[in-house]
A = this chain, B = another copy of it.
């Protein structure tokens, strides 16, 4: 099978930075706990847990003997203030581009502006970001945009992992909703280049595999973009799923595959998928045994 990995895929700057912070503390022998899921990738979270680095769901569960790490998606303003006020020993692994989102929202949260955040209101990034505005409206669909009332002045801002085309469609609807519309394109460049790469690749291959967490916002966007270009698109959470007979049945007659991965998907997962399609599928098609690919990566 011909295997093409999207030109940009996998770990972004913010994820690499967060993992580096943890690596650094580990090497120093520092016990660590994470507030929330550091990133939305089960494989990485399991690997961390196996090394004794788990996450807490609430600040009530704080273990004072461990250093606290704030997740890449950021935390709400009052929780950040709680950490400061109580002099809790923590390191902030919030992606700097998410931090910028907080900073911009704080700055544009004036009396005259109605702040509109485009994103998933249940996603930790948006829960945290929304806390920086006094009265934000969070929308995620064109329909929700069309249903908004009219305002004198709207300031609109995007979840960093939003699909650019979707954000543009919503902005275009908002032009009718205010005399002045301030648009802050806070979609991060890692998101943009990964989306563009799969938008280019998907129509040129027989099928597409998107590797990444099911709760990873940017991975889901990659999946939606790819599926739009190529109906034979599959979202797998980890490369283990590739070996499932029902999956192999679906793809065994195809001759080319495009692979992409979310910003929280480790490079080993991408490499595993690449080698899997290069080798094992060929073997299946030649009627040989379903053995593991030769270059197996631990993950």
Contact = CB atoms under 8 A, between A and B. Distances in A.
Interface of A: 164, 167-169, 171-173, 175-176, 178-185
A180 B176 contact: no
Given A169-B172, A171-B175, A175-B183, 7 more contacts: A168-B175, A171-B171, A176-B185, A178-B185, A179-B184, A182-B182, A182-B183
A176 B168 contact: yes
- How many copies of this chain sit in the oligomeric assembly? 2
A64 to B, nearest CB: 41
Contacts of A182: 180-183
A176 B195 CA distance: 14
Nearest to A186: B179
Question: What 9 A-B pairs are tightest by C-beta distance, nearest first?
Answer: A181-B183, A172-B172, A168-B172, A168-B175, A171-B175, A182-B182, A175-B185, A180-B184, A175-B183
B175 A181 contact: no
A142 to B, nearest CB: 12
12 contacts: A168-B175, A171-B172, A171-B175, A171-B181, A171-B183, A172-B172, A175-B185, A180-B182, A180-B184, A180-B185, A182-B182, A183-B183
Contacts of A180: 182-185
